[in-house]
Amino acid sequence: LSSFLKQCPLCLTNIAPDLDGYSFEWCCMVKVCAGCQLDDFMARREATCAFCRARCPETDKERLALLQKRVDAKDADAIAVLGNKYFNGSLGLPQDYGRSFVLFQEAAALGSVNAQN
C-alpha cells in the first residue's frame, strides 16, 4: 500500500492517489494536502499554488495550457489527467475515448498509478 501513497511535499502527510483530501495544482502538477492548501490561503489570502507560489489559473484555457506544458515534459500524472479530461470531455476538449485510452496507456508506461485503474 505504501508504494501507492504519495506524500504532501510540504508536510509529508500520506495522500492516497484515489481519495479526496488534497488539492491538485495545475501549475506544477503537485498534489498538496488540503490542510497545507488551506494554511497557504489563510496566510496570504490569494489563490496561488501552495507549492510553487504561481498564480492559480482562472479559465479552462489557462488550465489546459499549463497541463499541456507538463504533458510536453512527459509528466506521467499530467498525461493521465489529460486522458481523464478527454474521457470526460472537460476543459473545453471534445469527449474522445480513443484519445483518452492512448493517453492512459502512455501515462501508465511512464509510471502513473492513476492511469492504471
pLDDT one-digit tens code per residue, 86-102: 999 999 999 999 999 99
Percent of the chain residues topping a pLDDT of 90: 38
- Structural contact between residues 57 and 63, judged by C-beta atoms closer than 8 angstroms: yes
* pLDDT value, residue 2: 46
pLDDT for residue 3 is more than 70 = no
pTM to 2 decimal places = 0.76
Pairing of strands 14-15, 22-24: unpaired
Tell me: pLDDT of 19 over 80: no
Query: Does the pLDDT value for residue 1 go beyond 60?
Result: no
pLDDT the model gives residue 35: 84
User: What's the average model confidence in pLDDT over 53-63?
Assistant: 87
Q: What pLDDT, on the 0 to 100 scale, is given for residue 17?
A: 62
Confirm if 16 and 4 have CB atoms less than 8 A apart: yes
Residue 4 reports pLDDT greater than 80: no
Average pLDDT, the chain: 84
Q: How many CA atoms lie within 13 A of 50 on its CB side?
A: 22
Q: Which amino acid is at 71?
A: V
